[in-house]
Amino acid sequence: MKKREKSAACPCGSGLLLSVCCAPRLAGERAAETAEALMRSRYTAYAIGDEAYLLASWHPSTRPDSLDLAADPVKWVGLSIESCTDGQAADSTGRVRFVARYKAGGRAGRLAEDSSFVREDGRWYYVDGEVA
């Protein structure tokens, strides 16, 4: 991750600097404590093009073999967490409903999804999502 990126606001919308919010998770220095924290870090990974983190945080039962974010040039411009069900540090499953805004081909769009997460061996993983 570039130094200037780390000193910028975190793309996940937390209001914190990237260096203290999602960057430590993307670098493997700190695990996501909750399903929402994992959702936010995955959004950040999409926003900055970190395919390795996306694959590593995807549950092996549903993870694709690869991603090619460069083939689909999308600029992610905002994340809103609508709701969280379970997904706390003591839970084994969680759901996060979110809306992610983006621009692609000069047009604005939004992705609304109800995502499911599972915690195994103390680590949260994205399982799948239902587009709303």
Mean per-residue pLDDT, 18-46: 97
Question: Which domains, and CATH codes, for the chain?
Answer: 3-131 (3.10.450.50)
The alpha carbon of residue 17 and the mean position of all alpha carbons in its chain are separated, in whole angstroms, by: 16
Q: What pLDDT digit, counting tens, does each position of 34-51 carry?
A: 999 999 999 999 999 999
pLDDT band of 1, cuts 50, 70, 90: low
* pTM of this structure: 0.93
For the cut 80, the answer to whether the pLDDT of residue 69 exceeds it is: yes
The CB density around residue 24, as the number of other CB atoms within 10 Å, is 15
pLDDT band of 4, cuts 50, 70, 90: very low
For the cut 70, the answer to whether the pLDDT of residue 6 exceeds it is: no
What type of residue is 107?
R
Coil, helix or strand at residue 11: coil
Residue matched to tokens 């900055």: 48
Q: Is 29 exposed, middle or buried (0-12, 13-18, 19+ CB in 10 A)?
A: exposed
Contact 118, 97 (CB under 8 A): no
Coil, helix or strand at residue 3: helix
Q: What pLDDT digit, counting tens, does each position of 75-131 carry?
A: 999 999 999 999 999 999 999 999 999 999 999 999 999 999 999 999 999 999 999
pLDDT, residue 132, reads: 85
